Each structure stands twice: as C-alpha cells, then as structure tokens.
Chain A
Amino acid sequence: MSKLPSLEDFKDRNVVEGSAYYDVDQREAPTTGMEKFKQVVNRTFRFELFIGLWVVLREMIKFDIHTVSYPAEKLPIGPRYRAVHEMQRLWESGTERCIGCGLCEKICISDCIRMDTRIDENSRKEVTEYTINLGRCIFCGYCAEVCPELAIVHGGRYENVSEQRAHYTDFNDMLTPMDMAISGKVAEYPGFGAVTPHEDERIKTTPLAY
C-alpha cells in the first residue's frame, strides 16, 4: 500500500485485495494429521506466543497505526445491521413515506411501536404521532421488513445508552431531515427489509393496456 489509508478507506468493510484491511502473516491452516501434530508441538515447545508478540512489535515499529478514536471517530455499521430505526422521506417531494398502515405496530413482537392516526384536511390518513420504545425493542427488524412503503428502516446509530430504562424515540427524531431529502442526499436504504435487486423479475404484470 503506497500511502496510509484514511478513516474513510476503513469504512469500506469489504475486505478484498487492495482495500485498507490486509492480512498479517496469515498462515495456511494445517490439513493433515501430521501437520496438525507439528503445529501442536511448535506451539508448545517453540514459544509461538513470542512470535505473536514479535508481529505486533514489528507492526508497531512501522508506525502504521490503525486505531479508531471512538467516540470521536465511528466506524460505520454494515448495511444489514439492525440499529436504531430511521423514517424515510420520499425523494424530491420530501413527503413522509409512512402512511400509517399500522403493520409495523401489528408485527412488532415486543409490542414497542405505537402510532396515532387521523384523517387530515385532504381526507388522507395522517400519522400524528409515532413512537418506538427502544427500551423494549429487540431490533428484530420485522418492522422494516413488513413496511410496504420502505418508510421505516434500520439506521446505523447503534448507541443506545440512556438515563432512562424506557427510552422512547419520537417520529420527528427518526425522520430524515427535510433538507437532506430535498437535496437528494438520502441514498435508498440497501439493508434489512429493502427491495432486493432482482425484485422486478419476480413481479407479475397486470394487464393495464389502456
């Protein structure tokens, strides 16, 4: 690697050839009985512990230090990780995607979602309040999976420390900020409950010929 990788490089967790992550002194695993026997003997009598320590010392002397200074720096979480929920908005218009159908509320196995709905001035269903009791949520992801509008998704905020046992989260806190939605900075969520890449092929067409 020519130059020191940045934190951004480490955010790409896809470990392949040329990425920020690389294997250090990776050895082939023993396959035959004799090789396994040799490994045991080596580990017992040739002080392999010190070999390990030497690798660490060697890498340290190179000053190639990769420590992430948490919490100032945070590594992102994989797209399929199920952290605190986010509520998405529609692209461009910025309208809330949630239609208040109540499926997440129904499917929630720890019964931690509740919503209040009403009929608004335009005779549409409006969600007036929406809460998730994070003290009870087991982050199973069913809500995101069942959502017909891809409105509720799991975000990357995995820290759940709170002074209260029952830590509620509010609809507005979860909602994508309006400016981000309108400027189109919100990428479509690729994680849990999202549409799979091959969805189009599986949909049956309906004859709407006119």
Chain B
Amino acid sequence: MANVTITVDGQEIQTQEGEFILNAARANDIFIPAICYLTRCSPTLACRICLVEADGKQVYACNAKAKDGMEITTSTENIELERRAIMEVYDVNHPLQCGVCDQSGECELQNYTLELGVDSQSYHVADVKREAVDWGHIHYDPGLCIVCERCVTACKDMIGDNSLKTVARGADALEAEYKESMPKDAYAMWNKLNKSVIGLTSGEEMLDCTSCGECAAVCPVGALVDTDYMYTSNAWEHKQVPATCGHCSAGCQISYDTKHTSISDPEEKIYRVMNEWNYVSLCGAGRYAYDYENRDVTKDEVAFANAITAFEKADTLKFTSTITNEEAYILQQLKETKGYKLVNDEAKAFQTFMKDYSEISGTSLYGSDLKVAHNSNFVVSIGTALKTDNPNARYAFNNSMTVNKGAGLYFHPVVDPVIDQMGKSVLSINHAPLQEEAALYLILDLFAKKEKLPSEVSDYLASFHNMKTITVTETIKEKVIEIVKEMKVNEATGEEEEVEVEKSKMVPKKVEKEVEVDENRLLEILNAPKDFEEKMEKLLKKKDAFMLMVGPDLYTHPSSRNLARLCALVEKYTDFELVMIPTFTNTLGVSQICELDDEAGSYSIGYNTDADFKLAGLGDGDLDMPAINQQEGTLTSINKRVNPTNVAVSYGGYVLNDLANAVLGKAVENTIDYTEQLPVAKGFQEATFDSLPNHYENDGTEKRGYVLDNLAVTSSSDESVTAFDDKADVENALYLANPVRQFSDFTAKPHQSKEKPGLHASKAYLDKHELNEGDKVKVTTAKGVVEVEVSHDHFIDGEIAYLTTFDSKLNSEALFDGYRFTSASIERV
C-alpha cells in the first residue's frame, strides 16, 4: 500500500492508502470521538459519533478510507449538533446510579457525556423492563447497555466464538416528530438502538464459549462485567502493574489491577487483569487465572540450607518452561560452572526442531510472527490444537478470516468445532495422527514454485500424482425441437382449428464423459474432502498474504527432523510466512539460552517439576519459589519478543538467584541484574531490565521489550527430505492436550478455575464408549496405566479424546512416548 498524505484540521499527516481516517488520526494524536470502533476489527457503525467531514462530505471516520490529498475537518457545526444529540440519546433512560456501577471512573459514556458537555436532555422514550442476567462468568445489565455492539464485534471478528448478537428489545417506537426534528445520524442511531439489546447467539441461558472475557473488557459502560469482579472494587482504586501473561507462549501484555485485600489485610491482591484490547486480546486463562501466586512465604532458612545440600549432591536440574529468561540464564550459569545437566524435555524437542529447521533456512529463528498472521489472508495451521496451544494464534487465524476476508486450512486429527464455526472459509482436514508430514508435503505441492524446488523434492511430490481417466456425468442442455398441436383461430374463417406448430426448447440431459484428471494421493492420505480442489479454488481467490502456523505436535513427532526441514522448505520455496508455536510460556527463551541434555542423572533438583528435591512456585515442594506474577524478569513470546513482566503480588521467600549466589559464590543482588547478560550470540540484546518498555503506542506500535535478532546461521546445501509412511496411524488414539483456559498447574490453582483434570472427550466419544461425565476410567497405554475422571468437552468433536496435562499430579506425559498421540485403551472402573 502506498503512503499518502492527508490533512486533518490543517495538520498534514502521513498514512497508508486505504487506512481508516480514524486510525490515521489516532496514530497522529488527533482526537476524533468514537465509541463502537475496535482497532483490528471491522467497523460496526453503531455509534456514528466519529462523523467527520472529508472533502466537504460527511463520512464516518471509522470506515472511510484515506485517499491522497484528502482534506478532513473533525468538527463542523452540523457534526457538533449530531454528536451532542447522539450523546443525549445515549443518556436517555440510562440509570444515574454511577456510584454502584463497576465501570464508573473508566466509563466512556461518562467521559463523552462530559467531553461534549451534555447538561440537558431533549429526548425521551418510554423505557422497557430490561432485567440484569448472569451468563455464568459474565454479568449483563441491559439497563446500562448502549448497544454499541463492541462485544459482538470483538467476539466475532477477534475471538471467533460468535457467542453474542443483538436481539429485539421490544420497546415502543420513537415519537414520529423526532424524525424531522432530530439530527439525521443521531435519529438513525437511536432508531436502531431502541430496537435492540445484546443476547446470546445460542439462545441458551448460559454462555457456552471459550470464556475469554473480552466482551466485558471492551464494554465501554458497565453493562458487561466479570461476575467475579462485580462490586468488589472501583476502577480508580487499582494500582496497575504492567506485565506479561505467564501462561502460554503468546506473552500477551496485561495489567494486573491490584489493591489491598481488605480493611483488615493491607497485602496487595490482584482483583482483575486488564488488557489494551485495541491491540491485544486475552484468553480466559490470561484474564481469569491471575491469583496463582505463592502466598504467605517467609524465608525458611532450614529449607534453604537443605536446598544448598541438595545442590551439592545433585547432578541434574530439571525444570519446566514456566520460568523467566533470567532464571533460564541462571540455570545455564549453574550448568557451565558446576556441570549440572539441564533437563527439560519439551524445550529440548523444540530446540532440536529449531536446529533442524535452521539447517535449511539459514536463520536461527522462524521468520514471522502473529502480527503478520493477523494481516495475512490465507492461513494454514498444522500440528497444533490451535485454540488451546496458543489462543492468540487462534485469534489471529480468525481475525484474518473476518477482517481480511481470508481463508484457511486447519490440519489436525482432533475435530474442533470452534475452528469449524469460524465460517465457510475455513477448511478443516482431520487427518490421521502421524500424517502431519503429508500435510506439509501437500502445502509444498500446492504452493511451491516447482521449478525452484530441489529436484528430489519435486520428484517425490510428483510420485503422489497420478493421471487418471475417470467417467464424469455432466449435465448439458440440448436443443430439442418438437411439434405441438395448438388451437388457433383461423383469421380467414373465424373458426378455431388445430394447427401444428414447431417449437424448440432447451432440455437438460445427462451425458457421461471420460476425462483425464490429476489425482493427488496426498489428499486421500490426509482424508481431505472429495471436492477439495474445487473448494481450494474458491478459498484461494484474491489471496496474497500466506501464513503457516505449526505447533507442538511436530516437535515430538517421530520424524520431527523431516518435519522441521519441510517447514523450512515451505518457508523458502512458497509465499508462506512461518510461525512456530512454542510449547509453553518461555519454551523459546529456554531453548535459546540453555544447553539442554537428554537424560537426567542420578540425583536431580526440580524447578516446578517433581524430582528428588523440588523448588516450587506453587508451594508444594521442598523450597518455595515465587510464581511468575511475583517476579521481575523477561519472557520470550511466540512473536520472538523479550517482554518484561513485573511484580504484582509480594513474595517474602528465597528466589533462584539466592540459591545461585550461594552455590556459585556470587553476590548478584537481583535476578534482573542478569537481563543485560542474556546471550547476544543467541539474538538477545545487552539491555537493562529497567530500560525495557511495556506498552502500546497510539498507532498500535508494540513498545514492549525488544525483538530477538533472527541471526544467520550456516545452512547446509542438503535440502533432501525423507519419504514418510503413508499408512502410519495410531489406533484408538489418545491426545495430550488441555481444555480451554488451562495450560499448567498455575492456571489450575486460581479460584476461578473449574476445569477438572483427566480424560476429556466429545459427546460422540462418550456415546461410543458409553461413558458419562464424572465416570472414573482406567487409561492404559504402552507406557503405563492411570486412573482418571471423565469430563465432557464441548469444544472438541470426533472420536479422539485427550488426557489433560495441566495438573502435573496426573503425570499424563509419562503415558506418552514423546509424540502427542498414543494408542490407548479405556476401561471403566
């Protein structure tokens, strides 16, 4: 898109052609009032308050696109009249009990009413009974609702749940005279507003969605609020701690809103998590699983002394990726100085995958990020349960469908209704487990520039093709001439007589025809629908920005090396950009910082994982450690960004740095003193923690930490791939995943977490095995047996159930041989 110059209120500003005027103005700190518009979503046009005059014509700034040389006036006499009338209309029948409204103090209705100086009311309409309802985790008060539809827009365009819609209000019609007397846009806005309120798409009484709470976050008034937060606090009482969510690899920017616990307890407590919803959208875990801190910890000197003894005895440090970069660096220091083995299986798998990928790509990291995914229009996802592995990747997927008129392919063995309901432009292909390679070969086959591909790869791809003569039945229209008898009046005699008339008409006829077609065996291997090629033709219309997202299924796949190489080939020889979804919160950071080992030694210390001596951020180990919301440090996200996070809740115990100081004989005061020492050779920067910003600019620029340098590494000229077993399958497959809103023990601890660990299955699966929710079953795999509870998961379908990993007590990973699918038998107990 070309750069253009537009003039807003006499000020010349630079923007992109086709950018909305509102966004261009905001990026240049020019204020245009707007209520219903959400950046990154399509314009709703509900509030109409963003009226501006562009080249002498009144337009809505949120959906009028900038053209070169445009002259824009943000305020004229007529526009002021419209805005004033719109705000008066919003205040009609709006309760004045701001004192008991949770939004008071951060309410856009309050703000704009004051901004536009509304001090009198000229309009009225009889109110109808609108009763507040509890939709589960969200509370809706239609009495406060101004029907700006921001919640509906966010749910549809960003999240992809489509759980909310407008429903009829059942109010009286507006007085006829208003049509003449009122400003036009204000009347039109009111007329629509007065007919609707927000309701649930499902028609049920409770929300059954992926519970992200984004609707309540974007609500400009107090109509939608989190039920749990309701009436506990006022907006202005909170201290806002800018942080990074520590639950998954998305690394969303969040603000922990804290205040004292109660009158009698002055300890800081997190009341809610807020986000800059114009630029980042949270999932249910990020928003509701915030109180996972390790509470009431004091410095236990005995435990500390025991820990030092354990460090002397140990030869292995086991850990999870729910740690900061600084802690990972401390562990690496311990390895370098004391020779401990560092064991972290999932990070090791990711590290190996990345290394194999680098051999062909010649870069240390994958090339793209989720921001690019948001702006692309053809997205392919392979090897990841998108909505639970990284909810933000799912939002990016959905966002590119809805806002960029995009399309996508979702390759995964587990049927996912959440992905399917994103619309017709998403084609889900539920292939058999172990066939992820076929999916990547298919992408290469469909999109690679064949002449540039290494010949052995293109030969291999060609081996799947087969010209075949098939008989197709076509319907053609044939001209048939027939003779019909008609009654006609003979003009000469004036009598009616029968005449024969020739008539021609088109008659459809079925013809069988022999056609030679190219049969692609990969489609059959992947279980693709019969009309795949036709569908693809439609999906690919007008697409120019391609994105491939690959996920954790590939990293532990038996042929992960080949998969990594295929990913690199796709990135190199097609137009696809590539994003890899790191398995856990800081898997990317850990894999860059630590040299990891395969096998543990005889005595190990575990950090947030079971071992001979356990350091635990959950408080269930031998020595307490702080949880992520009690720490300063940086986390590396899927966007390859090193994001700072801050202390929201105080912690009184020992931290890893204290242990490292004692073991290494150092005197490093704070963990964050290590921030500037993170390895530059791996793409980190020599930046102090306090110099790292953590916010978004008005134009949406992410000012958070820094982006890892994607360094050039030596690549090999060998671009060969290996053949795969197209018959490979996992019988009675069981998947290793988590339900929506769960990632780890840290998401299971908070008081709003309700998900139960165990076997989660679809309705179809439960019916097939004659199981009910709450039943106890024995799951047997080649690696062991475990007894778990059965839960019904609404958000999967088909006949593959999954075993949760978020509760480490279950130790479900032990039942799997690395790969996320395993053959398992289920037996009721």
Binding site for B on A (CB under 8 A): 99-103, 105-106, 114-119, 123-126, 129, 131, 148-149, 204, 206-210
Cβ of B717 < 8 Å from any Cβ of A?
A: no
Residue of A99, A123, A129, A131 touching B99 (CB-CB under 8 A): A99
Complex Cα distance A80/B260, Å?
Answer: 34
Complex Cα distance A100/B230, Å?
Answer: 13
Tell me the nearest residue of chain B to A208, going by C-beta: B124
Q: Are B124 and A207 in contact (CB under 8 A)?
A: yes
Provide a sorted-by-A list of 24 A–B residue pairs whose CB atoms are within 8 angstroms.
A99-B100, A101-B100, A101-B104, A102-B234, A102-B236, A102-B237, A106-B234, A106-B237, A114-B263, A117-B231, A117-B232, A117-B233, A118-B231, A119-B230, A119-B231, A123-B132, A126-B231, A129-B262, A129-B263, A148-B99, A204-B120, A207-B122, A207-B124, A210-B125
Q: Are B99 and A207 in contact (CB under 8 A)?
A: no
Tell me the nearest residue of chain B to A210, going by C-beta: B126
Given contacts A99-B97, A204-B119, 5 further A-B pairs with CB under 8 A are: A100-B99, A118-B232, A129-B263, A148-B99, A207-B122
Inside 8 A of A105's CB, which chain B residues have their CB? 234, 237
Inside 8 A of A117's CB, which chain B residues have their CB? 231-233
Complex Cα distance A208/B100, Å?
Answer: 23
Complex Cα distance A208/B94, Å?
Answer: 12
Cβ of B532 < 8 Å from any Cβ of A?
A: no
Cβ of B121 < 8 Å from any Cβ of A?
A: yes
Number of B residues with CB within 8 Å of any CB on chain A: 25
4 cross-chain pairs, A with B, having the tightest CB-CB distances, nearest first:
A101-B99, A125-B231, A119-B231, A102-B234
In the complex, how many angstroms separate the beta carbon of A157 from the nearest chain B beta carbon? 22
Inside 8 A of A124's CB, which chain B residues have their CB? 100
Inside 8 A of A210's CB, which chain B residues have their CB? 124-126
In the complex, how many angstroms separate the beta carbon of B15 from the nearest chain A beta carbon? 40
Inside 8 A of B97's CB, which chain A residues have their CB? 99
Inside 8 A of B119's CB, which chain A residues have their CB? 204
Inside 8 A of B125's CB, which chain A residues have their CB? 210
Complex Cα distance A74/B97, Å?
Answer: 40
Q: Interface centre among B120, B132, B230, B263, by most A CB within 10 Å? A: B263
Inside 8 A of B100's CB, which chain A residues have their CB? 99-101, 124-125
Q: Are B263 and A101 in contact (CB under 8 A)?
A: no
In the complex, how many angstroms separate the beta carbon of B95 from the nearest chain A beta carbon? 12
Cβ of B123 < 8 Å from any Cβ of A?
A: yes
Q: Are B124 and A209 in contact (CB under 8 A)?
A: yes
Tell me the nearest residue of chain A to B121, going by C-beta: A206
In the complex, how many angstroms separate the beta carbon of A102 from the nearest chain B beta carbon? 4
Tell me the nearest residue of chain A to B97, going by C-beta: A99
Cβ of B472 < 8 Å from any Cβ of A?
A: no
In the complex, how many angstroms separate the beta carbon of A18 from the nearest chain B beta carbon? 45
Instruction: Mark each residue of chain B from 221 to 234: 1 if its CB lies under 8 Å from any CB of chain A, else 0.
Output: 00000000011111
Cβ of B98 < 8 Å from any Cβ of A?
A: yes
In the complex, how many angstroms separate the beta carbon of A83 from the nearest chain B beta carbon? 23
Q: Are B99 and A149 in contact (CB under 8 A)?
A: yes
Instruction: Mark each residue of chain B from 118 to 152: 1 if its CB lies under 8 Å from any CB of chain A, else 0.
Output: 01111111100000100000000000000000000
In the complex, how many angstroms separate the beta carbon of A195 from the nearest chain B beta carbon? 16
Tell me the nearest residue of chain A to B260, going by C-beta: A114
Inside 8 A of A125's CB, which chain B residues have their CB? 100, 231
Complex Cα distance A149/B98, Å?
Answer: 12
Inside 8 A of A115's CB, which chain B residues have their CB? 263
Instruction: Mark each residue of chain B from 85 to 119: 1 if its CB lies under 8 Å from any CB of chain A, else 0.
Output: 00000000000011110001000000000000001
Q: Are A116 and B120 in contact (CB under 8 A)?
A: no
Tell me the nearest residue of chain B to A117, going by C-beta: B231
Tell me the nearest residue of chain B to A131, going by C-beta: B263
Tell me the nearest residue of chain B to A168, going by C-beta: B263
Inside 8 A of B124's CB, which chain A residues have their CB? 206-210
Q: Are B262 and A100 in contact (CB under 8 A)?
A: no
Tell me the nearest residue of chain A to B237, going by C-beta: A102
Instruction: Mark each residue of chain B from 252 to 267: 1 if its CB lies under 8 Å from any CB of chain A, else 0.
Output: 0000000010111000
Inside 8 A of A131's CB, which chain B residues have their CB? 263
Inside 8 A of A118's CB, which chain B residues have their CB? 231-232
Complex Cα distance A126/B232, Å?
Answer: 9
Tell me the nearest residue of chain A to B264, going by C-beta: A129
Inside 8 A of B132's CB, which chain A residues have their CB? 123
Complex Cα distance A87/B263, Å?
Answer: 18
Inside 8 A of A207's CB, which chain B residues have their CB? 121-124
Inside 8 A of A209's CB, which chain B residues have their CB? 124
Inside 8 A of B237's CB, which chain A residues have their CB? 102, 105-106
Complex Cα distance A123/B263, Å?
Answer: 22
Known: A102-B237, A204-B119. A116 touches B99 (CB 8 A): no
Q: Are A116 and B231 in contact (CB under 8 A)?
A: no
Inside 8 A of B264's CB, which chain A residues have their CB? 129
Complex Cα distance A50/B235, Å?
Answer: 68
Instruction: Mark each residue of chain B from 140 to 169: 1 if its CB lies under 8 Å from any CB of chain A, else 0.
Output: 000000000000000000000000000000
Q: Are B99 and A103 in contact (CB under 8 A)?
A: yes
In the complex, how many angstroms separate the beta carbon of B226 from the nearest chain A beta carbon? 11
In the complex, how many angstroms separate the beta carbon of A35 from the nearest chain B beta carbon? 56
Complex Cα distance A102/B126, Å?
Answer: 31
Complex Cα distance A117/B233, Å?
Answer: 7
Complex Cα distance A43/B125, Å?
Answer: 78
In the complex, how many angstroms separate the beta carbon of A131 from the nearest chain B beta carbon? 6
Tell me the nearest residue of chain A to B91, going by C-beta: A206
Q: Are B122 and A101 in contact (CB under 8 A)?
A: no
Complex Cα distance A170/B572, Å?
Answer: 71
Inside 8 A of A114's CB, which chain B residues have their CB? 260, 263
Inside 8 A of B231's CB, which chain A residues have their CB? 100, 117-119, 125-126
Q: Are A116 and B262 in contact (CB under 8 A)?
A: yes
In the complex, how many angstroms separate the beta carbon of A134 from the nearest chain B beta carbon? 15
Inside 8 A of A204's CB, which chain B residues have their CB? 119-120
Inside 8 A of A100's CB, which chain B residues have their CB? 99-100, 231
Tell me the nearest residue of chain B to A98, going by C-beta: B99
Residue of A106, A148, A208 touching B236 (CB-CB under 8 A): A106
Inside 8 A of B234's CB, which chain A residues have their CB? 101-102, 105-106
Complex Cα distance A40/B566, Å?
Answer: 111
Q: Are A116 and B263 in contact (CB under 8 A)?
A: yes
Tell me the nearest residue of chain B to A103, going by C-beta: B99
Complex Cα distance A105/B105, Å?
Answer: 13
Inside 8 A of A123's CB, which chain B residues have their CB? 132
Tell me the nearest residue of chain B to A130, going by C-beta: B263
Complex Cα distance A86/B266, Å?
Answer: 25
Complex Cα distance A148/B120, Å?
Answer: 19
Q: Are B232 and A101 in contact (CB under 8 A)?
A: no
In the complex, how many angstroms separate the beta carbon of A76 from the nearest chain B beta carbon? 31
Inside 8 A of B123's CB, which chain A residues have their CB? 207
Complex Cα distance A150/B230, Å?
Answer: 24
Tell me the nearest residue of chain B to A171, going by C-beta: B263
Complex Cα distance A126/B260, Å?
Answer: 18
In the complex, how many angstroms separate the beta carbon of A208 from the nearest chain B beta carbon? 6
Inside 8 A of B120's CB, which chain A residues have their CB? 204, 206
Inside 8 A of A148's CB, which chain B residues have their CB? 99
Complex Cα distance A129/B260, Å?
Answer: 14
Inside 8 A of B121's CB, which chain A residues have their CB? 206-207
Complex Cα distance A163/B263, Å?
Answer: 21
Complex Cα distance A19/B684, Å?
Answer: 86
In the complex, how many angstroms separate the beta carbon of A200 from the nearest chain B beta carbon? 16
Within 8 A of A (CB), among B726-774: none
Complex Cα distance A209/B120, Å?
Answer: 15
In the complex, how many angstroms separate the beta carbon of A80 from the nearest chain B beta carbon? 25
Tell me the nearest residue of chain A to B132, going by C-beta: A123
In the complex, how many angstroms separate the beta carbon of B720 from the nearest chain A beta carbon? 64
Complex Cα distance A204/B120, Å?
Answer: 7
Complex Cα distance A117/B97, Å?
Answer: 16
Tell me the nearest residue of chain B to A100, going by C-beta: B100
In the complex, how many angstroms separate the beta carbon of A16 from the nearest chain B beta carbon? 41
Within 8 A of A (CB), among B426-455: none
In the complex, how many angstroms separate the beta carbon of A96 from the nearest chain B beta carbon? 13
Tell me the nearest residue of chain A to B234, going by C-beta: A102
Complex Cα distance A118/B119, Å?
Answer: 32
In the complex, how many angstroms separate the beta carbon of A94 from the nearest chain B beta carbon? 19
